[in-house]
Amino acid sequence: MKLIVSHMNLDFDGLASLVAAHKLDPKAVVALPPSLGERVKQFLHLYTRSFEWFTYKQIDWNNVRAITYVDCSTDERAGIASFLSPNEIERSYIDHHQTEATGANITLLLQPIIQNGIKITPVEATLFGLGLYSDTNRLTNETVTIADLEAAAFLHVNGMNLKVIHEFLQAHVGEHPLFETLFNAVDIQTIAEKRIVFSTCIADQYIGDIAAVVEEIHSLYAPDATIVLCQLHHHTYMIARATSADVPIQIVAQQLGGNGHDYAASAICRNEPLAKAYATVHRMLTTCIQVKIPIRSIMHWPVLAFSATSTAAEVFRSSKDSSYKGFPVVNDNNQVIGMLTAAKLKKAIDLNGGIELVSSIMSKKVHTLKATDSIEQGKKMMVENVIGRIPICKNDGTLEGIITRSSIISNQFNHSAHYSASELTRYFGVKPFAFLQKIGELADERNVQVYIVGGIVRDLILNRPSKDIDIVVKGDAISFATTLATHFGGEVQQHNHFLTATWIFQNVSIDFVTARKEHYRKPGALPDVQPARINDDLARRDFAINAIAISLNASRFGDILDPFQGRQQIQTKTISILHPLSFIEDPTRLFRALRFAKRLDFQLSNETKEQAKSMGNALQTISKQRVYHELELSQRESQLPWLFHALSEYPVWETLIGAEMSEYAYTHIQQLFRANVSESIFLAIAAIAYQRHSLTALHAFALTKLSKKLLADIQLIEQHQDETSLDDLHGYLYSVKRDALLFFTTLPNKENELLLRYRKAREQLTPLVTGRDLIALGFKPSPHFSTWLLAIEKRQLRGEIKTKTDALAWISNKINKHER
């Protein structure tokens, strides 16, 4: 017999390790020690039928030939010394105390379970989670390793019930040393119609499990949110709980450098005493609390609606296969004029076969909401008016969607992140959706994980059209794209250096990217890449709204992976970077952040703004070509000169050209764009530099032959703009580009009448004579040609020469014959 044992006073990590070891060696026997922790007893009492074990007294120790020790390594610790027979016993040990390789022992056993693809049940996942969370203080101990975090992710995917874990690990709150202090300090306030509980304290030493106290206070007062602030030494710690996402505690936490989700969040107000931290949090909450999760996020569409002139029988036939219990009634303009319940419809059918018109049996009192109204408003309207469905209408009353009682309930209690087949079909269309399904089925056959990621997921959530489909492959993206081409046809373009491939099929291009992580050797440099997990791939992205993935694998089709709460950011119209060094690694992310903000009508989070303002000289590390590229992308979206002005909030122009942008320069840029100048980006930068007398900095931005010419022209005009006559000006400026003249004549609040006249005269100036004409007159080509032609143009400007005949006569009369 082979035995698996653990230590006396068995805790959850020991129990979890016993069960996990049995998963790896099913022929072995699990033996429970005689002494168990109190909560372990409670767990085994509830889940006694889920596991198989024996007590020490039930074991025939004479037949034991091998023992595996888990979470311990001695007979005494396991409590088996008195039971052992004199037989020779083979011993093996799985004990993280010896290796210190993981924070919890269960992690050591989960690694081979994961590697060998061994299936676990949700109950087993929950027990393993209890072992992991209890032995690492909920993954907050310094001993926690990446392996522990990977184990937690695996358990979460396999059904770990965090609610059960919370119940078994929760401390006896009433005995907590801070409970009475915080309970007595409760201050209930109303902010934007939301009931908020505040409580504060100052501690002179670290006291664990304060979150349990916060949850208890939150449960006792049942407010919309509970905010607890505790000062410890130089920092103040914030722990927050919320009942609904209408109080966005996660956003407040993120702005303070912390994180969380809709219902629980925490952060540290570093180097802030309690009073200052309280004022900061209160101000943030007051600002953010107006943000609501819109009804559009849960509404159903298209809607089955009927005309008031239809008969009840007609409606009954059309709706008999529908699961809805009520339907909007609309007029010819699709405006809602009533509601018809299934109960009234059935009654009309039972009474006389349904010959009545809908107008006679519908309810004319209709409660409607707009798509931008909050879910909380929908819930309140349903409760107050005892109704089960609410039409969602545009401002003109046009039907746009509908929410039902089940929509509200699902939003409150079903937090599984998943897109249904109908939702994805509605967005992609029937044929593209079917094709994505085929990709997922092939991925399962090849044991490859595939996800659609990035902008297309963001646009799906926003219900915006999107053309680009990007698919991340956990594995070899090039190989998978090639496999798809083999099965379905098409052509594959490989990009081996970047671990990517483009599959072109039926005039559609799909980019496949190997899930990877990136390393920036220095700020502003292009990253080194290497294969990694999907979470690592999402973590390398620029913003939370672009770090969302949807699984295409048939086994998990539609599952959403959103580790950075990107959906919450989208709902609150917020753009946030993923980590504090994001702008240091790639300063061009600021340009992209502002581009997305303009395109989507979003705002940068306060934390993101502060990080952008403190990126220092990182902008100097990127090439001017990359700066131009980002500006050109914004120009394609007609965002310039808006972007130039938006960038002035950050030290961009001061870092790049040594000059801040003033409102004067912004007006100048607007004028240049209205004039539709060539090299508009270069001239816009020049406008900032010129206003601050920093033209020398522009040489680095003159990347094209034309921009170099314009810079030289601007400097030339600056030298001679005070000339007193048109022909004198032309003598110096005859070769300058029109756009260089526009640069000066669009300067706000700076009238130069002569320069303006010169520009307009230049625009109307048509050369009357060319070098060929001079050769035809018998002149030999010489450097004098340009001098003579310029002299003619000067006389044209003065009105002395008006025709080609006049010009040729002037040459014949004024040029000495010996020059022929």
Band of pLDDT at residue 391, cut at 50, 70 and 90:
very high
The percent of residues above 70 in pLDDT, for the chain, comes to 92
Number of neighbours of residue 326 by Cβ within 10 angstroms: 21
Residues 56 and 165 placed together within one structural domain of the fold: yes
**What is the extent of the structural domain holding 367?**
296-413
- The domain boundary, picked from 169, 197, 216, lies at 169
Non-local (6+) Cβ contacts of 366 within 8 A are 328, 336, 337, 338, 339, 391
- The domain boundary, picked from 118, 139, 169, lies at 169
In this structure, what DSSP letter does residue 118 have?
-
Residue 609 resides in a domain: no
Residues 387 and 445 placed together within one structural domain of the fold: no
pLDDT at position 818 is: 41
Residues 161 and 17 placed together within one structural domain of the fold: yes
Look up the CATH number of the domain holding residue 71.
Answer: 3.90.1640.10
Number of neighbours of residue 506 by Cβ within 10 angstroms: 9
Residues 437 and 561 placed together within one structural domain of the fold: yes
Look up the CATH number of the domain holding residue 560.
Answer: 3.30.460.10
Quote the tokens at residue 720: 């001679």
Residues 689 and 661 placed together within one structural domain of the fold: yes
Total tally of structural domains belonging to the chain: 6
Residues 639 and 518 placed together within one structural domain of the fold: no
Residues 399 and 528 placed together within one structural domain of the fold: no
Quote the tokens at residue 554: 């048939």
pLDDT tens sequence across 530-577: 677 787 788 888 899 999 999 998 877 888 888 788 888 898 899 999
Residues 585 and 649 placed together within one structural domain of the fold: no
Which of these, 687, 703, 765, lies nearest to 729 by C-alpha position?
765
Residues 654 and 543 placed together within one structural domain of the fold: no
Residue 156 resides in a domain: yes
Tell me the pTM. 0.49
In this structure, are strands 549-551 and 449-453 parallel, antiparallel, or unpaired?
Answer: antiparallel
Whether the Cβ atoms of residue 150 and residue 108 lie closer than 8 Å to each other: no
E strand residue ranges, 439-571: 449-453, 469-474, 491-495, 500-505, 508-514, 516-519, 528-531, 549-551, 560-561
- Report the mean per-residue pLDDT for the chain: 85
Residue 709 resides in a domain: yes
Residues 19 and 160 placed together within one structural domain of the fold: yes
Residue 361 resides in a domain: yes
- The domain boundary, picked from 107, 135, 169, lies at 169
Backbone φ and ψ for 5, nearest 5 degrees, come out as -130, 165
Element containing residue 29 per DSSP (H, E) = strand 29-32
CA dist 185 and 634 (Å) reads: 51
Look up the CATH number of the domain holding residue 266.
Answer: 3.10.310.30
Which of these, 682, 604, 609, lies nearest to 651 by C-alpha position?
609
Whether the Cβ atoms of residue 589 and residue 599 lie closer than 8 Å to each other: no
- Does pLDDT of 170 surpass 90? no
CA dist 458 and 453 (Å) reads: 8
Residues 663 and 731 placed together within one structural domain of the fold: yes
pLDDT tens sequence across 691-711: 877 788 889 899 999 999 999
pLDDT tens sequence across 643-695: 999 999 999 998 888 888 889 999 999 999 999 998 899 999 999 998 877 78
Residues 133 and 104 placed together within one structural domain of the fold: yes
